[in-house]
Amino acid sequence: MLPRYRQVALAAFLLACTGLSSVPVAFARQKAEAKPVTAEQVAETVILVFGQRERLSQIRRSGVERGQLVRTTDDGRAENISYERSFKRGETIEKDKIRLDQKKPTLEYSLILNDGHVWGLVKGTPFTPRQEDVADFLAESQHSLDILLRYKENGATLNLAGKDKQKGIEMWILEVTDKNKLRTRYYVSTKSGKVLALEYEDTAPGDTKPVKFRRTFHDYQVVQGTSVPKRTVLFENDRQVEDAQILSVVYGIKMDDALFKNPEAAAAQP
């Protein structure tokens, strides 16, 4: 149970910091009452802090994100990559369309997800990407903030796994399990309602021992009335493997479906 002063502070934060005049008063009052916190209350708090469900659905129906990241290779080298990530939301996560264009020092290529299939493009020519690259690409959407923000629309289940305290910050531990039984654990600040980190386990192709991943979120900013962490850091078994910085992001833009189509499949159509 949250101390009453923290519940009142959280209610005030939700009203003041989201910048949304339409925040339900009943919800804010509920947060101020001395009642046990449930998994659904934590999830709904996060959604409210990020911009409210209806607003997120309307504004983030599509978007283009551009940024830079530093990825640590298996041999310890730092690889600088520029990227552009375009997406178009479907009714559920499974129907989302995602395109990731990456520019490395010696190579430019794209990975595309559409209709549940992933393929690659190099200079307009399709290719079959490596299994590990596909796994990493899918993990970015299968274990993401969107999994929590869209839990209800996607029929995911919630479990409140208790609390934790790291570096003096108290956090709720919220587990979200999707319909494919993929589980992501979120660490949510009890003070701000922001997601500070997420964790999940995955098994690399050809391996049997699961790998523990942890992604931390930093530098939250408001973009088109929604909250966006401008920097994320990914750890693999406690070793930092990626540091990504968003340089610009625009939501709600018109996007042609051709951007996500496989040229070979399109050519085969009558």
CB 128 within 8 A of CB 137: no
Q: Which residues of 44-56 are buried (b: 16+ CB within 10 A; e: fewer)?
A: bbbbbbbbbeebb
Q: Which amino acid is at 128?
A: T
pLDDT over 60 (residue 27): no
pLDDT over 70 (residue 6): no
pLDDT over 80 (residue 227): yes
Q: Is 62 exposed, middle or buried, given 0-12, 13-18 or 19+ CB atoms closer than 10 A?
A: middle
Convert the pLDDT of each residue in 34-92 to its tens digit. 456 999 999 999 999 999 999 999 999 999 999 999 999 888 889 999 999 999 999 88
Q: Is 220 helix (H, G, I), strand (E, B) or coil?
A: strand
Q: What is the pLDDT of residue 126?
A: 94
CATH number of 58-268: 2.50.20.10
Q: What is the pLDDT of residue 205?
A: 61
| Mean of per-residue pLDDT scores for the chain | 86
Q: What is the pLDDT of residue 263?
A: 80
Q: What is the pLDDT of residue 3?
A: 44
Q: What is the pLDDT of residue 23?
A: 41
Domain with CATH 2.50.20.10 in the chain: 58-268
Q: What is the pLDDT of residue 102?
A: 96
Closest CA to 201 of 132, 117, 242, 142: 142
Percent of the chain with pLDDT over 90: 72
More confident residue, 208 or 18: 208
The string of DSSP letters for 154-217 reads TT-EEEEEEEEEETTEEEEEEEEE-TT--EEEEEEETTT--EEEEEEEE--TT--S-EEEEEEE
Neighbours of 234 (CB within 10 A): 20
Q: What is the pLDDT of residue 76?
A: 83
Mean pLDDT of 6-25: 42
Which one-letter DSSP state was computed for residue 89?
Answer: -
Convert the pLDDT of each residue in 93-137 to its tens digit. 989 999 999 999 889 999 999 988 999 999 989 999 999 899 999
Closest CA to 164 of 178, 174, 154: 174
CB 80 within 8 A of CB 68: yes
Q: What is the pLDDT of residue 99?
A: 97
Q: What is the pLDDT of residue 16?
A: 40
Q: 26 pLDDT band (50/70/90 cuts)?
A: very low
Question: Residue 231 corresponds to which tokens in the numbers above?
Answer: 């920097």
